[in-house]
Amino acid sequence: MEDTHSPVIRIRNLTMAYGQNVVMRDLTFDIHQGDIFIIMGGSGSGKSTLMRHLLGLEDPARGEIFYGAIDFTHSDLDGRNALLRRIGVMYQGGALFTSMTLGQNVALPLEEYTHLSSNQIRTNVAYKLGLVGLSGFEEYYPSEISGGMNKRAAIARAMALDPQFLFLDEPSAGLDPLTAARLDELLLELKQQLDCTLVIVTHELASIFAIGTDSVFLDTETKTIGAVGPPKYLRDHCPNPEIRSFLNPSEPQPQTI
């Protein structure tokens, strides 16, 4: 059993840059087992860029990312690929393959990375779609279902390999408030059932407070971490008034001179 007090992901002195353009610098924070960890900040703060670095899709200008004792940043290709099989990803917008049915979308990782039989894959696909409330929708195409259902199907695909870590980029963006709230409830249920750690990029305050257990705030002004901690605590107690205002828009904005 994983020690819940030990971080399962450690980010150390991470600087993200495109050439000479620094996006964020000196990011140091931990993500613990069982967290629903929120990456938040204003537009252009580098939230999705940070997620891509955590997934190895982009290399840091400086610093390291550790998964447990594994130095992910300096791992060779085989080491990275082995670790990535423990990670499920829901990309922004869902990113389902539109020419494939929901069942085929969810089956794809199983076909690529396991030796399961066709019957075992079908059973697994039905189970994962059932977990997200889409039992019986295996033969539907993404164009035939709603936006909220597409998001849930994308989560089912992300869970196909029973990941230890589940990354989601703006999962409730574009959804109406009721559908977004139901998606939040689903994520809470999945965390309990799968005993996994969720890392979520979002700017949706309702979702942040409904499900976030810990968070990092990326500050566009200083280009580094503005605060780390549970979202509700930061909203109510963060000493930085701009972060409190971001998390509580009804609070008066700080005055600038």
| Residue range 119-172, pLDDT digits in tens | 999 999 999 999 899 999 999 999 999 988 999 999 999 999 999 999 999 998
User: Using 50, 70 and 90 to split pLDDT, how confident is the model at 192?
Assistant: confident
Within-domain flag for 115:
yes
Within-domain flag for 127:
yes
DSSP state of 94: B
Within-domain flag for 118:
yes
Within-domain flag for 15:
no
Q: Which domain holds residue 139?
A: 88-162
Beta bridge mates, 91: 94
Look at residue 1 in the predicted model and tell me its pLDDT: 39
CB-based burial, 53-71: b 16+ in 10 Å, e otherwise: bbbbebebbebebbbeeee
Distance CA 111, CA 3 (A): 32
Look at residue 251 in the predicted model and tell me its pLDDT: 62
Sequence letter at residue 211: I
* 58-72, 131-145, 193-207, 238-252: least confidently modelled range: 238-252
Within-domain flag for 205:
no
Q: Quick one: tokens of 10?
A: 């450690």
Handedness of CA 96, 153, 197, 209 (dihedral sign): positive
**In terms of pLDDT, which residue wins out, 241 or 32?**
32
Distance CA 193, CA 163 (A): 12
Beta bridge mates, 217: 40, 227
What is the CA 137 to chain-centroid distance, rounded?
25
In this prediction the pTM is 0.90
**221 burial type by CB count under 10 A (0-12 exposed, 13-18 middle, 19+ buried):** exposed
Residue 114 pLDDT greater than 80, yes or no: yes
**14 burial type by CB count under 10 A (0-12 exposed, 13-18 middle, 19+ buried):** buried
Distance CA 217, CA 220 (A): 10
Sequence letter at residue 74: H
Within-domain flag for 107:
yes
Distance CA 229, CA 216 (A): 7
Look at residue 92 in the predicted model and tell me its pLDDT: 79
Distance CA 213, CA 114 (A): 33
Digit-coded pLDDT (tens) for 216-249: 999 999 999 999 999 999 999 999 988 988 998 8
Within-domain flag for 131:
yes
SS3 of residue 88 by DSSP: strand
Domain count, the chain: 1
Measured between alpha carbons, how far is residue 95 from residues 100, 109, 147, 172 in Å? 12, 14, 11, 14
Handedness of CA 188, 163, 90, 7 (dihedral sign): positive
Answer yes or no: are the C-beta atoms of 37 and 212 closer than 8 Å: yes
